[in-house]
Amino acid sequence: MWARERNTKKEVKDLAGRLQRLMREILMAKDDQPPERTEDKQGTATSDVPATKRMVSVSVQTDAGLGEDDEDPGTVKYEDIQKVNSFGEFMGLERKNWKEKIFKNTTIIGGSLLKANREEDIAYLLEKGGEKENENKGNEGIRKAIEERYPDLQDIEGDVSVLAVSTKVEDKEGFVKVRERHIYKVATTGEGEDWFHRLSQVRDKMVSHKRGRLSLYPPISDGNGARTRKMLECLLQGTNIKGTIYVKGMPRDKHGGTPPGNVVKRNRDTEAILVERGGNSYADLLRRVKDSVSVSSVAARGIKTIREGRNGQMVIVIDKSDREGREELQKQLADAKINANRRGRTKVFVIKDVDGDTSKEEVLNAVLKDTGLEPEDCTGGELRPYFGGNRAMTLRVEASKAKKLIEIGKIRIGLNQCPVTERIQVIQCFNCWRFGHTKVECKESGEKSNLCRNCAGEGHKGEECDRRPKCLSCNEAGHRTGSGRCTEFRKALNKARLSSKRKKAS
């Protein structure tokens, strides 16, 4: 029934052709009969008119574009897709012209597979071997994130394995519904016949389980997802399944299978000021800020919202364009002895080999002079001891303006050429204190954020502790949490360094 509906126009055209032939046969049969005579309105006889001259022209009007495609052997048609049952048949079709209107079951959008609707099934890849074996780790981040979200996936094996996950959801009326999602774990080289065969296995499993929507990302060998989309379009013919292919690095809109263009990044019109809690509760800190900043003042004019951050600090979101309001707000918070730092998306740098006679202000002035940055674009830490009697300083620079600092690599400060290196950032969770994910993404049920960061004990803070140090990250004694001596930190740091090198090389 589905196939007949998809070929309605073709059937109408065939029917019209048969009707034309039938009419022609009827009229030709009358050629053997005497010619008919016609009369005008007054009854006067007129010339004889052969019956064959009264043939009716029957035609069917269809979409001009579709008619042209039907005549063009180089353009893919619906019936071509329906005939594909093997990779060899797909290969014969792949090189033809695929117009966007031929794609009825698949869509390509930009973004991460992790953003897919929770009611959609997802398929993720374990890519092994293939011509681009050294590049197959490009999708590792997605795989790890999915397996962290659904740990049971790590225990199942097979070319195409499936895990069914049920979630109870309460609607607005208070009724509890069970929502089921299937996650397909696909082992593949991601190339040619193997990828086609794995996709067909996923389709068969979805049909048998009566599933309706599938989201996946293409293998490394099919960066823009165009080939995967064509394969999936062929395989989903005759089913009720719709497929969405997520491609990293392209806008989140429908795409016709051509290589993605440049992504337009949205410039933020807000920035944030972080207010540290110190020894206060968030409620006490909020009260102090409200007492310090008058609602009618210039300082309050650019405030968008105030909220609690992930790590317990206060986040004040302000209008980026209101420079006067920002400066006044920081001044009023400083007068009230509230520790506040401006924060946007920043990159962290370390400036080394600063001589012992140079002040922090001189270092910042040298940075501004060589990079063309404004004072509000960067924040410097205090100078600290470094090798050979020299010192080093940590510098935070707004990410969008850090390119110049990366390019120059060195800054003349006094008589020294001081190297500038970007610090490798290691993501750490402040719930379980492990590395590689944030507190929001943490799956640990236990709450460790209130434990002492010096001894890992309860009931007090690290600033007050004089017990023997014990690390919450590696669970080893002899150093406190956050120390560079932590073995788990060193592993995470080495991993981040390797990742940074790969990005620079690519």
pLDDT higher for 61 or 213? 213
Question: Is the entire prediction scored with pTM above 0.85?
Answer: no
pLDDT band at 338 (very low <50, low <70, confident <90, very high): low
Residues belonging to the chain: 506
Write b or e for each residue in 282-302: b if 16 or more Cβ atoms lie within 10 A of its Cβ, otherwise e. Answer: eeebbebbeebbeeeeebbbb
Domain 346-422 -> CATH class: alpha beta
Topology adopted by domain 270-343? Alpha-Beta Plaits (3.30.70)
What is each CA distance from 333 to 75, 297, 342, 375, 445, in whole angstroms? Answer: 67, 13, 12, 19, 37
CATH 3.30.70.330 occupies which residues in the chain? Answer: 346-422
Pick the range with the lowest mean pLDDT from 136-145, 171-180, 335-344: 335-344
Question: What is the structure's pLDDT at 405?
Answer: 85
Amino acid at 34: P
| Percentage of the chain lying above the pLDDT 70 cut | 73
Q: Distance (Å, rounded) from C-alpha 222 to C-alpha 131?
A: 12
Residue 313 or 200, more confident = 200
Q: What is the pLDDT of residues 389-426, one digit of tens each?
A: 899 998 888 777 788 888 888 999 999 999 998 888 78
d(CA 139, CA 116): 16
- According to CATH, where is 3.30.70.100 located in the chain? 270-343
CATH 3.40.220.10 domain locations along the chain? 78-247
173, two tokens: 């009326």
CB 326 within 8 A of CB 342: yes
Check pLDDT > 80 for residue 359. Answer: yes
- Topology classification of domain 78-247: Leucine Aminopeptidase, subunit E; domain 1 (3.40.220)
pLDDT confidence bin for 21, thresholds 50/70/90:
low
Structure tokens at 175: 């009724």
